[in-house]
């Protein structure tokens, strides 16, 4: 079952898709198109590993909707990896969507809150250089082959 999210003041809502709903949700052509765009931007050549990780629960799937629409505005995945000591590191990947200036800040803050709840000490994401202007607290830490890496350290 998808986690129900509160609607923001901007009329947007974020859903964390439950593992048992991945196969059903993946039948949505709008979502498949968004994930394909996100994978292409991240230079992921084969979708199958991402889908298998989502179905296994080792990656999480997130969707963003406008209040009055059932078509997702954005989709992305997260994965939580071991990090320094007992901490964890959350990486946001395969992100694609439309109207990013409208939702990027809200999504980044929700992801930071999720990462904190999961015991993470940092959050990273990859994208075009301009993404750094859309989110708060993330710093640009480098570039590889035209993909920029942004990171935010979390304090307990």
Q: What total of structural domains would you count in the chain?
A: 1
Which sign, positive or negative, has the C-alpha torsion 42, 45, 48, 52? negative
Contact 100, 134 (CB under 8 A): yes
Residue 3 placed within a domain: no
What is the Cα–Cα distance from 49 to 55, expressed in whole angstroms?
10
CATH number at residue 113: 3.40.630.30
Q: What is the pLDDT of residues 19-70, one digit of tens each?
A: 999 999 989 999 888 888 888 877 777 778 888 899 899 999 999 998 888 8
Residue 102: partners with Cβ closer than 8 Å, 6 or more residues away: 10, 12, 73
Please indicate, yes or no, if residue 103 is contained in any of the structural domains: yes
Instruction: Indicate whether 133 pLDDT > 90.
Output: no
Between CA 92 and CA 49 the distance in angstroms is 16
Contacts of residue 137, defined as CB under 8 A and 6 or more positions apart, other chains included, come to 108, 112, 152
Q: Which residue has the higher pLDDT, 96 or 6?
A: 96
- Domain annotation covers residue 139: yes
- Structure confidence at residue 5 (pLDDT): 57
Tokens 């949505």, residue? 28
Closest CA to 97 of 140, 34, 45: 34
pLDDT at residue 1 tops 50? no
How large a percentage of the chain has pLDDT more than 70? Answer: 94
Task: Tell me the residue range of the domain where 52 lies.
Answer: 12-153
Residue 113 within any structural domain of the chain: yes
- Locate the DSSP E strands across the chain: 12-17, 60-66, 72-82, 88-97, 120-127, 139-144, 147-153
Q: Please report whether residue 5 resides in a domain.
A: no
Is there a domain that residue 61 lies in?
A: yes
Strand order in the sheet with 147-153: 12-17, 60-66, 72-82, 88-97, 120-127, 147-153, 139-144
pLDDT at 96 over 70: yes
Domain assignment of residue 68, yes or no: yes
């Amino acid at each position: 079952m998808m986690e129900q999210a509160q609607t923001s003041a901007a009329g947007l809502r974020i859903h964390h898709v439950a593992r048992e709903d991945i196969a059903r949700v993946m039948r949505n052509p709008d979502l498949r198109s968004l994930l394909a765009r996100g994978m292409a931007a991240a230079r992921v050549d084969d979708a199958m590993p991402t889908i298998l990780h989502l179905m296994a629960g080792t990656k999480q799937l997130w969707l963003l909707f406008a209040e009055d629409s059932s078509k997702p505005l954005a989709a992305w995945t997260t994965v939580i990896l071991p990090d320094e000591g007992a901490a964890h590191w959350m990486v946001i990947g395969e992100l694609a969507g439309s109207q990013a200036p409208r939702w990027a800040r809200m999504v980044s803050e929700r992801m930071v809150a999720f990462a904190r709840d999961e015991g993470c000490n940092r959050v990273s994401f990859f994208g075009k250089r301009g993404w750094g202007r859309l989110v708060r607290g993330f710093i640009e830490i480098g570039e590889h082959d035209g993909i920029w890496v942004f990171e935010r350290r979390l304090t307990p």
